[in-house]
Chain A
Amino acid sequence: MEVLLYALLGFMVVGCIIAVEIKDLLSAVVSVGIVGICLSVVFLFLGAPDIAIVQVVVETLCLIILLRATVQRDDTTIYKYIESFAVATILIFSGVFMVLAYRAFKDLPSFGHPLMTVSQEYLREGLAKTKAVNFVTSVLLDFRAYDTLGEATVLFVSILGAIAVLRRRGRR
């Protein structure tokens, strides 16, 4: 079980590296797809079918959009050139982040250790209070409905912005 998870994680890392390093954009998109599909299998193994469904579906959508964006270009190969300033900046700031994150995470309690009283309350009372058999939905739409509302609003506003930027007619 754990061996399989580690194998899938290694496969995902290899997919990421290939996607970054390969010169053909189409192959890069396919490698990104490998990462997403493996992630959905990992979610299935961890016992989270809800997230697995969302992951595989959203991955398909993103792949189709990415493919449409790359295939439309005439020349799908890119030639490698490295901006040393950008790489140096990224390295410096990731180093700063790592140091600060190490200091911050050291003070956190270890995984699962403070007994999660709120979630245990949800788990115990969830079915009786909401009568929804799918516990994930009862958290999403009842206990934590504010989060769902925020997510829906983010999607709405981002798509509004995308259409406003991309449209041609009516731009003044």
Chain B
Amino acid sequence: MKGMSLIVRTIARVVTTFIILYSAYIVVYGHITPGGGFPGGVILALGIMLLMLAFGKDLPLRKLPEGRASVLDCLGALGFWAIALLGFTAGYFFLNFLGKGEPFRLVSAGTMPLSNIFIGIKVGVSLFAVLTALSVYRRFYPPGEEPPEED
């Protein structure tokens, strides 16, 4: 995947920052405003995807190599499991064991913001991994019919 023209690159460089900031907002405020871990994670993946479309596949892969992406993916999944299992410290699986706090505050609702953050990391990085798999690894071709070099 080659990059695009100078105009696209400049716009993408500016806009990606805001997209990733917006995804962080959607994830962190998931228990107060509409949103949550899943849409925030997808928006994060879309921001990285914009970088990949504008600059070619090398830049995002340099920032976030495959190994680190899979580590982050597993970290998100394990974090969510850990929150679920930590409920046992107070009683049972998935118990909301942290203090609830006041409604309408950022730090409220116990484990929900933490779960949202872990789900956001997991979804974003794993969708990035899907894009990587589709664009970097060559597709499944029957033997003998090797594809032409990647554009």
Contacts and interface: CB of A to CB of B under 8 A. Distances in A.
Interface of A: 49-50, 52-54, 57-58, 60-61, 64-65, 68-69, 72, 127, 130-134, 136-138, 140-142, 145-146, 148-149, 152-153, 155-156, 159, 162-163, 165-168
A165 B108 CA distance: 42
Contacts of A136: 34, 36
B42 A57 contact: yes
Contact of B73 (A140, A159, A167): A159
20 contacts: A50-B34, A50-B36, A50-B39, A64-B49, A68-B134, A68-B135, A130-B112, A134-B30, A134-B33, A134-B36, A140-B36, A141-B112, A145-B84, A146-B94, A152-B123, A153-B77, A155-B123, A156-B126, A163-B133, A167-B133
Contact of A152 (B77, B112, B133, B134): B77
Looking at A133, A136, A162, which has the most chain B CB atoms within 10 Å of its CB?
A133
Nearest to B99: A131
B39 A54 contact: yes
A149 B80 contact: yes
A8 B103 CA distance: 37
A50 B49 CA distance: 22
Interface in B20-71: 26, 30-36, 38-39, 42-43, 45-46, 49, 53, 70
A143 B49 CA distance: 34
Interface in B97-127: 100-104, 108-112, 115-116, 119, 122-123, 126-127
Contacts of B39: 50, 53-54, 57
B103 A156 contact: no
Interface of B: 26, 30-36, 38-39, 42-43, 45-46, 49, 53, 70, 73, 77, 80-81, 84, 94, 96, 100-104, 108-112, 115-116, 119, 122-123, 126-127, 129-131, 133-135, 137-140, 151
Contacts of B101: 131
A140 B35 CA distance: 11
Contacts of A60: 46
A68 B131 CA distance: 10
Given A141-B112, A165-B140, 20 more contacts: A53-B26, A54-B39, A54-B42, A61-B127, A65-B130, A68-B134, A69-B134, A131-B102, A132-B103, A132-B112, A134-B33, A137-B109, A137-B116, A142-B96, A142-B109, A149-B94, A152-B119, A155-B122, A156-B73, A156-B77
A152 B150 CA distance: 32
B34 A49 contact: yes
